[in-house]
Amino acid sequence: MKKVHNFTAGPCVLPQQAIDAAIEALKDFKGTGVPVVSISHRTKEWEDVMNECRALWKELLGIPEGYEVVFLGGGASLQFLYVAMNFLENKAAYLDTGVWAHKALKEAKGLGNAYAIASSEDKNYSYIPKGFEIPADLDYLHITTNNTIYGTEIKEDLDCPVPLIADMSSDILSRKVDVSKYTLIYAGAQKNAGPAGVAVAIIKKDALGKVTRYLPTMLDYRVHIDKESMFNTPPVFSIFLMNETLKWLKGIGGVEAIHEINVRKAETLYAEIDRNSLFQGTAAKEDRSIMNICFVPAPGKEDLKDAFLAFAKERGMVGIKGHRSVGGFRASLYNACTQEDVDALVECMKEFEALNA
């Protein structure tokens, strides 16, 4: 197989150990003689996977008592609706930090009174708004901790006077989180926790049941908590692979260990972006994401964009084209992306500079 360095924004690179386990399980799931995709989800063997996966989430993130972990289909985008359905009664505020935050707000507006409390749209979402007042009468404040498209990140857990809800799709498991500061954390798995097809929600149980609207069965978090994410057939293969990804993460030392690695990877690449005369970063320095690194050609070098993409592709770099709303380049340095991958990209940028400066 061709050796590549995968910087794709999502679905993302996954640890080889997890991929290999999935290949084995497709042949024979735990010695049952049945592929993991054909086993009944009501078997003991499958329930063990569900239990292990839930326990790993709790262990890796240090999830306190009173919180439940559920696995749901529909991606993070369906969580936008779950949030509003389960928590919006009178008024909710959203921090508008990009396309995903905007889409989350849209779902809430469709159900009730929701608004953007602050926005960085004026500078194409290149920074995180700060210093805004949070009214005490909100049902919740919704934030997007990592803005995948723009490469900005809220790197600390906010002290929030109202229930805090966070879309952590693209930075969950990249760092330690004080879960007790959140009423709800959710994430589509395919950015850092596994393959597409499953979303995880970490829910403070006693915050549920406070809305008066009718909750459709499938959109009621309480149903999924009661049924341990098996109210209906769960996305078994996605959960299997997520579980293997979590096992790998635990094996290398958990979120604290990976955070150190992630910071070093990001610093390596940002240092090169700042040094290299052909490139510049797009996100405000203090808000730079350690997961998604966005950069563009330096002023006057715009015509080198396609040449660099081709040059990098030649050298095995995959998925570094920037999102169309920012342009330029984006390298996503999710957990399974290694320091060696980043070093290879930096080397490639240096070589390109030597040929084109």
Ligand X SMILES: *Cc1c(COP(=O)(O)O)cnc(C)c1O
Nearest-angstrom CA–CA distance, 311 and 316: 9
Q: Write down the catalytic residue from 191, 204, 265, 321.
A: 191
Q: Is 144 in the site for ligand X (CB under 6 A)?
A: yes
The piece of 30-38, 71-79, 246-254, 309-317 that touches ligand X (CB under 6 A) is 71-79
Q: Write down the catalytic residue from 46, 57, 100, 248.
A: 100
Instruction: Tell me which residue of 251, 268, 303 sits closest to 21, measured CA to CA.
Output: 251
Sole binder of ligand X in the list 5, 53, 61, 75 (CB under 6 A): 75
Amino acid at 27: K
Q: Write down the catalytic residue from 167, 171, 220, 287.
A: 167
Sole binder of ligand X in the list 10, 163, 234, 322 (CB under 6 A): 10
Q: Catalytic annotation on 100?
A: yes
Q: Is 76 in the site for ligand X (CB under 6 A)?
A: yes
53 or 346, CB closer to ligand X? 53
8 or 29, CB closer to ligand X? 8
175 or 348, CB closer to ligand X? 175
Q: Is 138 in the site for ligand X (CB under 6 A)?
A: no
Structure tokens at 156: 């600390």
Neighbours of 301 (CB within 10 A): 17
Q: What is the smallest separation between the CB atom of 206 and ligand X, expressed in angstroms?
A: 26
In the region spanning residues 160 to 199, those forming contacts with ligand X, defined by CB under 6 A, are: 167, 169-170, 188, 191
CA geometry: angle 326, 329, 335, nearest 5 deg: 110
Contact present, 67 and 205 (Cβ < 8 Å): yes
Nearest-angstrom CA–CA distance, 82 and 187: 12
Q: What is the smallest separation between the CB atom of 73 and ligand X, expressed in angstroms?
A: 10
294 or 349, CB closer to ligand X? 294
Instruction: Tell me which residue of 250, 264, 232, 256 sits closest to 343, measured CA to CA.
Output: 264
Q: How would you label 263-273 residue by residue, b for 16+ Cβ within 10 Å and e otherwise?
A: eebbebbbebb
Q: Catalytic annotation on 167?
A: yes
Nearest-angstrom CA–CA distance, 341 and 320: 12
Q: Is the peptide bond before 11 cis (omega within 30 degrees of 0)?
A: yes
Q: What is the smallest separation between the CB atom of 227 and ligand X, expressed in angstroms?
A: 22
Tell me which residues touch ligand X (CB under 6 A): 10, 75-77, 100, 144, 148, 167, 169-170, 188, 191
Q: Which residues are catalytic?
A: 100, 167, 191
